[in-house]
Structure 1
Amino acid sequence: MAGNETSLVAGTDAPSHPPQKTDKIEINSPFFLGPQDRPGDFITLARFTGENYDDWAGEIETALQARRKFGFLDGTITSPEPPCTQADWLTIHAMLISWIMNTITPEVKITLSKYKDAKRLWDTLRERFALVNGPQIQQLKKALANCRQTKTMIVATYYGKLTALWEELHTHEPLITCSCCTRCTAGRDHELRRQKDMLHQFLMGLYVEYYGRLRSTILTQDPLPSLNRAYQLTIQDERARMASEVPDDTAEAVGFAVRPCGRGQGRFERPDKSHLSCTHCKKTGHEVAQCFEKIGYPDWWGDRAKNDAGRGKSLAPGGRGRGGAAAFVLMQQPLNLLEHHLPKCLLQINGKHLQVFSVI
């Protein structure tokens, strides 16, 4: 009998316990709050001042969607779901209210009551500050119609300006949503029409001298390409055009015009040197300090007769005596030489003083 009891005890399997159901909220649940979530956190750098509701609300929505919490504000999540308890529900709303209030300036914060429901706070702010701004919508549409690419503007810059205007306009005019049935395509059709309008706005604003032919090619396609495809084709056309351009490396001519100093323009006023006399060569018209026979003949004298030196004859090209033209252009002079003469200088050619008066 004892043996049977022993064998019965030995042969009896240990009773199996069913796995206990955990009450832990999963990390990917919108009801989850981790140790990194604190009431004093600033979830966005934007600050609500009472005048920038649209921009501020967009920043808050983005920050809360990243934390899976925006459903508590837009009405998607209306009650706690197990394993979330009522205490967890109150904790989540308190956290959301703290995050929102941290981004509001004190001037606006003092006008708000104490809230325990985050959705009520969010709805109050929208009703009070989200004003319908018809003139602003009209201004945005006018800016889109006037947005044009200039000759020196690259396509990326032009497209960036359009994108900023589109995003701001879409904030005031959101897409149509319909939940009448699962097969309703009203929202999708509205989105496709908006994309087509954006495509036409982009093509109309392109610089016509560069992209007129490309624009005609795109518009003749059936069906029309998407906006991203049209942008890609335009960028490719821009790069091909820029690669085919030959840079102009021709050196610019550097020169200046000269005119004589004197009363008349275009005339030499020869100084009277008849009273001068050279003690070295015994000739008149110059002094010994300017005597070429004593100090040496310059290189530009050339093969002229040496006895012509000092007689006061005009050696300036294009002019013989009074009334001769006095315009010289020095082309492609080294810049280091011009630095010694600009902005004013005197040039002396056989006693004639010429003054630089402008740079070409």
Structure 2
Amino acid sequence: MNRSASPNGTNSRNPSPNGANSRNPSTNSTLDLHSPYYLHPCENPIISIVNVTLTASNYHSWSRNMRVALKYKNKLQFIDGTLTKPEETDSNFLAWEKCNTYAVAWLNLSLSSEISQSVIWNENAYDMWNDLKHRYHQGDIFRIVDLEEEMYTAKQGELSITAYFTKLRIIWEELKTFLPIPSCVCGVECTCDLGVMRKYRKQRQLVRLLRSLNEEYGTVRSQIILMAPLPDVNAVFGMLTQQERQFHSLDNGEPRALISSSDLIENEKHFQHQNANGYRGRGHSSRGRDGRGGRGPLKLCSFCHKTGHLVDTCYKKYGPPLHMRQPQKAFNYATTSPGVKIDKSSEALLQLSTQKRECKTSTFSLSQEQKDTLIALIQQDNSSQIGHVIN
């Protein structure tokens, strides 16, 4: 007797359609790495898969991040409606229930506390996604106007090039989400107007970036605008970051080293020219201390372009030190002290000295009459002094 045969002639080891093994296809789908029902052993429904929390004003950035994360986990079909809930008798029902629960948990973890309370009883990921979309995706026209105003009024200010470019890039990407341009299917050479529309959009973005920069970038901005054709926005960003690094190097004192190097090279040429002409000056001897030629590199001032000192100690720029300055001419005590009588000869001498001080560079000459008067006053003063001594 064949024990494997049933009274009806069928093999008793084959599962019946309504038996416990009728859901074996579900087991196969959960093990398939490419199946939406597959869950990696490391998947955890209590760990958020995005770092953006949905609020009343950031639906578009949140939805984009969530779609990317679910697409990476091959669970996007649970929110876009392409994988509907199967019947309870279906072999994939249990697998669908488990994956849907994971998707609902991930959505709840990415919501703010106020929004999460409003969808806490929703157990279907597709229904929850549509509910959030209908609530926070409205008002696209007003949001577009707000984004355009924000873009046209934006200024760099105290932001760095990277921070300011990131700020504008966020606005551009959100506008692209609201006003998308259809994909071109022309191939290598575009024959439709979609490529022209994308070109105009990129040009507007480039001009907006350049016009809102600070005035210190005026030179590089003029150079970029004169380029034909205009470079890509990312290429312009690279040029601006290089200019920004150059500004930082100027602030850190590197230009002084660069100026000193160029000045030293120019001074070395001048020194070689003097040696070729047989000139020997102070510090320019062919032999120096310990047999080493000269006294090292010559100093060259970048302000007055003279050798022997640097700009930090330039007398022409800062003036000589206090101990080298000429003392100011003392005022005549007779002209400043009250109660002191001044004779006529002294008064004439004071006037003459005052005129000389006022006309340092001009030629001063006396007429013959003035000379005679001055000599007579001096002689009269001397005779009066002699008489006083005799008495």
2:255 counterpart letter in structure 1: V
Alpha-carbon contact 1:48-1:104 (below 8 Å) kept: yes
Structure 2 distance, partners of 1:48, 1:149, is 28
Structure 2 distance, partners of 1:154, 1:318, is 58
1:27 aligns with 2:30: no
Matched residue SS, 2:255: coil
Matches within 5 A, 1:1-360: 23-24=28-29, 25-78=31-84, 85-112=92-119, 114-149=121-156, 155-171=161-177, 173-177=178-182, 191-206=198-213, 207=215, 209-218=218-227, 220-221=228-229, 224-236=230-242, 246-247=255-256, 250-251=311-312, 318-321=330-333
Alpha-carbon contact 1:178-1:186 (below 8 Å) kept: no
Q: Which moved more, 1:233-242 or 1:162-171?
A: 233-242
Structure 2 distance, partners of 1:179, 1:154, is 35
Structure 1 distance, partners of 2:191, 2:95, is 37
The structure where strand makes up a greater share of residues is: 1
Matched residue SS, 1:110: helix
Matched residue SS, 1:30: coil
Structure 2 distance, partners of 1:239, 1:108, is 44
157 and 125 in structure 1: CA distance in 2 versus 1, 3 angstrom threshold: closer
Q: How many residues align?
A: 241
174 and 117 in structure 1: CA distance in 2 versus 1, 3 angstrom threshold: farther
Shift of residue 58, structure 1, vs aligned partner: 3.3
Structure 1 distance, partners of 2:39, 2:192, is 37
113 and 135 in structure 1: CA distance in 2 versus 1, 3 angstrom threshold: same
Shift of residue 121, structure 1, vs aligned partner: 0.9
The structure where helix makes up a greater share of residues is: 2
2:181 counterpart letter in structure 1: I
63 and 188 in structure 1: CA distance in 2 versus 1, 3 angstrom threshold: farther
Shift of residue 125, structure 1, vs aligned partner: 0.9
Percent of residue pairs bearing the same amino acid type:
22
40 and 179 in structure 1: CA distance in 2 versus 1, 3 angstrom threshold: farther
Shift of residue 167, structure 1, vs aligned partner: 3.0
Alpha-carbon contact 2:186-2:192 (below 8 Å) kept: no
155 and 41 in structure 1: CA distance in 2 versus 1, 3 angstrom threshold: closer
Alpha-carbon contact 1:214-1:234 (below 8 Å) kept: no
2:223 counterpart letter in structure 1: L
Alpha-carbon contact 1:147-1:205 (below 8 Å) kept: yes
187 and 62 in structure 1: CA distance in 2 versus 1, 3 angstrom threshold: farther
Q: 5+ unaligned residues in a row in structure 1: which ranges?
A: 1-20, 256-298, 300-314, 325-360
1:141 counterpart letter in structure 2: E
Match of 2:377 in 1: none
Matched residue SS, 1:58: helix
Structure 2 distance, partners of 1:56, 1:48, is 6
Structure 2 distance, partners of 1:187, 1:89, is 41
| 1:28-70, Cα deviation, whole Å (9 max, x unpaired) | 4433211222322222343334454334333322322332222
Alpha-carbon contact 1:177-1:186 (below 8 Å) kept: no
Alpha-carbon contact 2:36-2:75 (below 8 Å) kept: yes
Matched residue SS, 2:236: helix
